[in-house]
Structure 1
Amino acid sequence: MTPTDVPATFRPRKRASLYARLSVAADAENLSLDGMVRDMRALCEREGLEEVALHIDDGKSGGRRDRDEFQAWLNDARTGACDVLVNPVTDRLTREGLNVAAAILDVVEGKDPATGRLAHPPVRLVDCNGLDSLHGDAFRFRFVIQAEVGRAERERIRERSRIRARNLRRAGRWGGGTPPFGYRAVENPDGPGWTLAVEPEEAAAVREAAEALLKTPPDPLTRVVRRLNHQGVKPRRAKGWSRVTLRKVLTGEHILGRVTANGRLVRDEEGEIMAPFPAVLSVSQVAALRARLKPRGDSPKGGGHPSRVLSGLLSCHSCLADLTVHHSSARTRDGKHKVPDAPPRIVYRCPTRGQGGICEKPVTVMATGIEEFVVKLYLDTVGNFPMFTEKTVVSGLEEMATIEEEIREALADLATAADAETFARLQKLQARQQELAGMDTGRRTEMVPTGKTMAEHWADSMTDDRRDLLADAFEELIVGPGRQGKKGFDPDRLSYRWAESEQYDD
Structure 2
Amino acid sequence: MTTHRKRASLYARLSVAADAENLSLEGMVEDMRALCAREGLEEVALHIDDGKSGGRRDRDEFQAWLNDARTGFCDVLVNPVTDRLTREGLNVAATILDVVEGKDPATGKLAHPPVRLIDCNGLDSAHGDAFRFRFVIQAEVGRAERERIRQRSRNRARNLRRAGRWGGGTPPFGYRAVPNPNGAGWVLEIEPEEAQAIREAVEALLKTPPDPLTRVVRRLNHQGVAPRRAKAWSRVTLRKVLTGDHILGRVTQNGRLLRDEEGEILAPFPAVLTVSQVSALRSRLAPNGTAPKGGGHPARVLSGLLTCHSCLGDLIVHHAAARTRDGKEKAPDRPPKIMYRCNTRSQGGVCEKPVTVTAGPIEDYIVGLYLGTVGHMPMYKEKTIVSGLEELAMIEEEIKDALADLATAADAATFARLQRLQARQQELSGMDTGRRTEMVPTGQTMAEYWESAMVDDRRDLLADAFEELVVGPGRRGPKGFDPDRLSYRWAEQEQYED
CA contact under 8 A between 1:181 and 1:235: conserved in structure 2?
A: yes
Match of 1:372 among 364, 371, 375: 364
1:435 aligns to what SS in structure 2? helix
Amino acid at match of 2:311: C
Match of 1:205 among 188, 191, 197: 197
Structure 2 residue 229 is matched with structure 1 residue 237? yes
Match of 2:435 among 435, 443, 447: 443
For residues 441 and 324 of structure 1, what CA distance do their matches in structure 2 show? 43
1:219-368 matched pairs, under 5 angstroms: 219-296=211-288, 301-368=293-360
Match of 2:411 among 396, 410, 418: 418
Q: Structure 1 residues 201 and 422 mapped into 2: Cα distance closer, same or farther (>3 Å)?
A: same
Amino acid at match of 2:201: A
Most deviating of 290-299 and 266-275: 290-299
Deviations 1:339-373 (A, max 9, x none): 12321221111111111101111111111221222
Q: What's the offset of the Cα at 1:447?
A: 1.2
Amino acid at match of 2:412: D
Q: How many residues align?
A: 480
Q: Structure 1 residues 503 and 188 mapped into 2: Cα distance closer, same or farther (>3 Å)?
A: farther
For residues 306 and 93 of structure 1, what CA distance do their matches in structure 2 show? 61
Amino acid at match of 1:427: Q
1:457 aligns to what SS in structure 2? helix
Q: TM-score, normalised by structure 2?
A: 0.76
2:271 aligns to what SS in structure 1? coil
Deviations 1:114-160 (A, max 9, x none): xxxxxxxxxxxxxx9899xxx9x9xx999999999877665543332
Q: Structure 1 residues 360 and 188 mapped into 2: Cα distance closer, same or farther (>3 Å)?
A: same
CA contact under 8 A between 2:280 and 2:389: conserved in structure 1?
A: yes
For residues 354 and 95 of structure 1, what CA distance do their matches in structure 2 show? 72
Q: Give % identity.
A: 74
Q: What's the offset of the Cα at 1:374?
A: 1.7
Q: What's the offset of the Cα at 1:91?
A: 9.0
CA contact under 8 A between 1:316 and 1:363: conserved in structure 2?
A: yes
Structure 2 residue 156 is matched with structure 1 residue 164? yes
Q: Structure 1 residues 89 and 494 mapped into 2: Cα distance closer, same or farther (>3 Å)?
A: farther
Q: Structure 1 residues 321 and 412 mapped into 2: Cα distance closer, same or farther (>3 Å)?
A: same
1:380-419 matched pairs, under 5 angstroms: 380-415=372-407, 416-419=409-412
Q: What's the offset of the Cα at 1:422?
A: 4.5
Q: Structure 1 residues 153 and 268 mapped into 2: Cα distance closer, same or farther (>3 Å)?
A: closer
For residues 28 and 342 of structure 2, what CA distance do their matches in structure 1 show? 78
1:425-504 matched pairs, under 5 angstroms: 425-500=417-492, 504=496
Please provide the CA RMSD for this pair.
Answer: 4.9
CA contact under 8 A between 2:205 and 2:291: conserved in structure 1?
A: no
Q: Structure 1 residues 299 and 375 mapped into 2: Cα distance closer, same or farther (>3 Å)?
A: closer
CA contact under 8 A between 1:20 and 1:37: conserved in structure 2?
A: no
Q: Structure 1 residues 497 and 335 mapped into 2: Cα distance closer, same or farther (>3 Å)?
A: same
Q: What's the offset of the Cα at 1:427?
A: 3.4
Question: Runs (4+) of structure 1 moved beyond 6 Å?
Answer: 18-22, 37-44, 46-49, 54-58, 60-67, 86-105, 128-131, 140-152, 297-300
CA contact under 8 A between 1:413 and 1:422: conserved in structure 2?
A: no
Unaligned residue ranges in structure 2 (runs of 5+): 1-10, 69-73, 98-118
1:452 aligns to what SS in structure 2? strand
For residues 393 and 174 of structure 1, what CA distance do their matches in structure 2 show? 31
Deviations 1:304-343 (A, max 9, x none): 2111111111111111111111123223345443312321
CA contact under 8 A between 2:83 and 2:139: conserved in structure 1?
A: yes
